[in-house]
Structure 1
């Protein structure tokens, strides 16, 4: 850094310190403008004031520079959770450059202009970091929401004493298979069930990949000592399975969930009596 550059840098830093309130007021106004009232001004002032003070210290202190990045990352996470766009979030940083430029323009000095060039590069770097932090935070939010949806879309329900069921709806992929396995195995442990019904009535199609995922789930349940029945094998799916040459081996398959439950009940020592409409279950020894 030349003596001239150092002089310009000190000059712009003096402008930032001596006109802090003026710059902060203008910065808040610029950053809030694209938000159209979706941010509370008092909250924005508190947030940006802390960033501004840390920014001033970071120009000469490396530890403060690390702290500043932490504040910007938290700003990005907060804006991402509130549903702001990357542009709106980045403007919270780039707006500082516009606010400072108005002050530099009023100063009109050569040293101020040269110092602003250096400061502009610094703010650009912080703006890009904020944008990247926002993208990372948004991806994390989406991943968490996807995981929550997977858990909601793969319930494990208790059908009978010793019998649980997993009604699957939609496409079965690797991520969802993992969730199904974990919830099914945990439910088997919690309930002490010995039979599990995996119902695929709501699965639109079964290909080789889906079949492999089903087999993995069945094998995982078997390792826990539970027998599995796959139900919901519609004619179209049965035709596809045969055409693809998919082998389920010794796994019991049934056309409907009712048939699978009846099979599991019989295996559990329960006989079914009465019409198909009533399906009254009584234990064999009590018949």
Structure 2
């Protein structure tokens, strides 16, 4: 459909802009349940309305993939990402576009060009839904990375001794983060001993053991000695049944035992230190 075909509808929409936006804002606000301020929502809708009317009034008319709709698409991408970050659902996001049809029909009437205009809005609504899905995937991916960082803390237990308490499953992606954080902490602290505590790891299989061994080898290349703690009876039985070999890597049942071993190897008189600290 050409721009001339939308001419009358565009003029009527601009003449009744305040009423149109009021109607549109009311419908959208009802779905958002007050989680976006009226001032912010009003600006979003006015900017989007102006861009849509300018686009359909261009020579490209109703071709939403044309350059004329570039600003419209940019506004919808920004809107979708904002809604995804705020935790809105795809329906709550897309309804902000689809509701424009009802607002136009209620405010300026449904003339002969309304069906073509409605088709344009449907296309933009689908674009919004698709953009929201991509934005939501990015949000989830970023959150997963942040949780991964939080789930692999490296803590300093003593001068020259750090500990890496692992909780949950140790897959390839997390193993890489574990290795990077441990190596960086060894560099930052100059520690000679690293205790890898697997008390919170529900099960140790061949894959988990391989990840641990790679991390330990990398730490050794940095000049640090590693100790594995948290070897529970069930874990020990599994390791034996699978034939997993830790070689000369020392293992302890508890983190406290591993710390005592690390302190002893580093020449710390544990008894004297405890007495000194009143323990």
Aligned counterpart, 1:14: 11
Q: CA contact under 8 A between 1:270 and 1:281: conserved in structure 2? A: no
Segments of 5+ residues of structure 2 without an aligned counterpart are: 61-65
Aligned counterpart, 2:257: 259
Segments of 5+ residues of structure 1 without an aligned counterpart are: 283-287
Aligned counterpart, 1:125: 123
Q: Per-residue deviation at 1:6?
A: 6.2
Q: Secondary structure at the match of 1:205?
A: coil
Residues 73 and 117 (structure 1), Cα distance of their counterparts in 2 relative to 1, 3 Å cut: same
Aligned counterpart, 1:77: 81
CA distance in 1, matches of 2:4, 2:43: 32
Relative to the length of structure 1, the TM-score reads 0.86
Q: Deviations over 1:101-128 (max 9, x none)?
A: 3346x36xxxx32x22221221111111
Equivalent of residue 202 in structure 2, options 186, 201, 204: 204
Q: CA contact under 8 A between 2:196 and 2:226: conserved in structure 1? A: yes
CA distance in 2, matches of 1:136, 1:218: 38
Q: CA contact under 8 A between 2:229 and 2:258: conserved in structure 1? A: yes
**What's the RMSD between the two structures over aligned residues?**
2.3
Q: Report 1:239-258 matches (<5 A).
A: 239-258=237-256
Equivalent of residue 163 in structure 1, options 161, 173, 192: 161
Q: Secondary structure at the match of 2:191?
A: coil
Relative to the length of structure 2, the TM-score reads 0.88
CA distance in 2, matches of 1:130, 1:199: 46
**Range that drifts further, 6-15 or 167-176:** 6-15
Q: Per-residue deviation at 1:255?
A: 1.6
Q: Deviations over 1:174-204 (max 9, x none)?
A: 2222221121111111101111100011111
Where does structure 1 differ by over 4 angstroms across 4 or more consecutive aligned residues?
A: 61-64, 278-282
Q: CA contact under 8 A between 1:272 and 1:281: conserved in structure 2? A: no
- State the aligned residue count: 270
Aligned counterpart, 2:149: 151
